[in-house]
Structures are given as C-alpha cells and as structure tokens.
C-alpha cells in the first residue's frame, strides 16, 4: 500500500511536534563557495538561490529560459536584502553593499529534457574553470499528461531523473576536486507510490502506449531520484562529497498552480485546507539548505540520507535501499546517456 512505510513510522509523526531543525540563522558563511541550482527561476529553487547568495555564495541559476533567469536575478537582489532584514541575528550572513558588491548570480542554460543539452550545460560550466562546492538538483516537472522527451523517454523520468543524471555525472570530477562538497537531490514523498514488485517499469519508459496514471509516473521518477542519490553516495563514500535527498513538503506555490489548472469545485474546497498545512517556498527550501550547508552533514558523515521538513531524517521507501535496483537504474541511465536505443 502506498505510503504505508510513512504512516506506520513513528518518526514521521514526531516531525509534526519536534519543530524545525534548521533555520536561516543556522546557515554558515558561504563566501568563496560556488553553487548550481537547477529549476532556479521560481518557487523552491528560487528561494534556495536567494538563501545561498545572501550568505555569500556565487550561484548559477541552471534553467532553460534566459529571460526568466535574468528576471529572477534582478528580483533576487531585493529578496536577498529582505532575507537579511528578516534574519538580522544571523551570525554569518554577509550584508552586501549592493552598490559596491552585488550578489554573484549568473544564468547557466540547462535543458533537462534533452540529455545532450544537459551534457552541454555541464561542459559550459566546466569551461569556466570554477570549482563547484554545492549542486542542488531541484528542477523538474509534476503531474503532466503523458509525453516523451526529445530523447524518447517518458517526460517525468526523462526530466526529473535522466537530465539530472547526465548533468551531475558530467560535473562529478569537478565536484570531487572542490571537496568538501555537497550534492542535494530533490525528491518527494511520492517516491513511496510505486509498488515494490515493479518499482520502476523500465519497459514502459519508452512506450507511448504504456498505461500508467500520472501520479504513478511522477512517483516512479521521484523513486529514481532516491535510488540515484543512494548509488551516487556509495560511489563517493571515500570522497568528501556528501550526497543526500530532500522532500520539501507540500509547498503553497505548487498547490496554487494546481488550483489554477483545475475546474473541480471539490478540489478547490479541499485546497483551502491544504494551503493551511502547506509550507511557503522559503520554509520548504530549508530542508534542501540543511543538506547543502549544515556543518552537521560533515560532522556526522551523513551520506545517502533522506530528509523531510524541516531537516528531519526519515527512512525512505525500503525498496530504495535495494543495491540491485540502484545499480539496475544506474546501468539503464548510463546506457541512455550514451544514446543506447536498446534500453
């Protein structure tokens, strides 16, 4: 049964009463750090960009649309000042003089739906000769009608997983050289949806006639995120590169988008209650920021872990701990990245 692992877990219910385990005041000084955030022009990704830049990091907004990225960068200057105003007691925040020292924010063109373009984006960054201390894979899609990517893969799997797989692995050597470093992969509690007997239906990923519900396809891509994170963490176990996965919780901006797309009156009524329980983008970003910046991650050698709001560790779907499945996904993804049409 979907989510039985969550709802039967006392640790999950404790998070409702234990409070937040990370705040903006806890983020250390990030001066000299270079970060990339995918899906960075709005919502959760944008809130993450603002927080990293406000604490001194040089941040690349990795996304498709240059115009939206440039608009986000302009908007971020004001939001960085607002964040510093909201958290005046932060011990490490660099208070910028925007006339003399503007936050370092840049656009990096990234198309996750085409693997060759994901590779090209990584190459473009590598050609800059910069280190890479923080990679946050927060871009993606949700609840889309069935379609195939340019590479011929189901879109949720292709964008949420394969695009990030190619982009991340292409940057891996630079990340190793920049250690200590972090890789944070955004997932979702929806990774609990796929059944254990067919967690990822590899045969359906290129089949336009495959009959799968949208939530099943989305959940499958989010499970792939967890599997990839665990396989990557294992490969980096002897490096000072810390890979972890984060579920941000229900985010109010995402709920509002769904309301606008729906004409179902009952859904609109339910959404009013849902919004009362949802996190703002700024609060939802804290779990990703914990994985990306908290000294605890290094001090406690936390690798391949799964976190839910706010910065609470939880055991993920037990099937995600299958090394065989992790390696099957890695092999499939590697072949796909090399253009092997037989996968």
- Positions annotated as catalytic residues are 218
CA distance 252 to 186: 17
Please report the sign of the dihedral spanned by the C-alpha atoms of residue 141, residue 144, residue 149, residue 155: positive
CB 177 within 8 A of CB 240: no
> Which residues are 299's β-sheet partners?
none
CA distance 221 to 139: 12
Count of other CB atoms within 10 angstroms of residue 123: 11
Q: What are phi and psi of 38, to 5 degrees?
A: -85, 155
- Residue ranges of alpha helices (H) inside the chain are 4-7, 10-18, 43-54, 66-86, 115-126, 155-156, 163-177, 214-235, 252-261, 265-277, 281-293, 295-299, 323-337
Task: Tell which residue, 128, 155, 161, 158, has the closest CA to residue 143.
Answer: 155
């Amino acid at each position: 049964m979907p989510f039985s692992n969550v709802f039967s877990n006392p640790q999950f219910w404790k998070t409702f009463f234990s409070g937040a385990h990370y705040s903006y005041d806890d983020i250390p000084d990030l001066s000299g750090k270079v970060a990339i955030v995918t899906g960075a022009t709005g919502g959760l990704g944008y809130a993450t960009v603002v927080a990293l830049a406000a604490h001194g990091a040089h941040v690349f907004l990795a996304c498709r649309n240059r115009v939206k990225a440039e608009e986000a960068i302009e908007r971020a200057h004001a939001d960085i000042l607002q964040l510093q105003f909201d958290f005046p007691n932060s011990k490490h925040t660099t208070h910028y003089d925007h006339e003399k020292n503007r936050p370092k924010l840049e656009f990096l063109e990234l198309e996750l739906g085409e693997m060759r373009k994901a590779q090209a984006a990584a190459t473009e960054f590598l050609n800059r000769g910069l280190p890479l201390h923080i990679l946050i894979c927060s871009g993606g899609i949700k609840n889309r009608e069935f379609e195939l990517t340019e590479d011929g893969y189901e879109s949720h799997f292709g964008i949420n997983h394969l695009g990030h797989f190619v982009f991340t692995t292409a940057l891996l050597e630079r990340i190793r050289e920049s250690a200590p470093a972090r890789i944070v992969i955004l997932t979702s509690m929806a990774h609990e949806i796929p059944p254990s007997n067919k967690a990822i239906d590899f045969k359906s990923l290129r089949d336009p006639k495959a009959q799968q519900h949208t939530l099943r396809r989305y959940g499958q891509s989010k499970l792939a995120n967890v599997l990839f994170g665990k396989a990557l963490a294992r490969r980096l176990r002897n490096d000072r590169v810390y890979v972890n996965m984060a579920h941000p919780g229900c985010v109010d901006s995402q709920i509002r988008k769904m309301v606008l797309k729906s004409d179902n009156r009952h859904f609109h009524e339910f959404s009013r209650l849902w919004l009362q329980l949802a996190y703002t983008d700024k609060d939802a970003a804290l779990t990703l920021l914990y994985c990306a910046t908290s000294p605890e991650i290094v001090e406690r050698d936390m690798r391949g872990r799964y976190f839910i709001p706010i910065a609470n560790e939880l055991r993920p779907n037990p099937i995600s701990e299958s090394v065989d499945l992790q390696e099957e996904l890695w092999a499939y993804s590697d072949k796909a990245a090399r253009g092997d049409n037989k996968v």
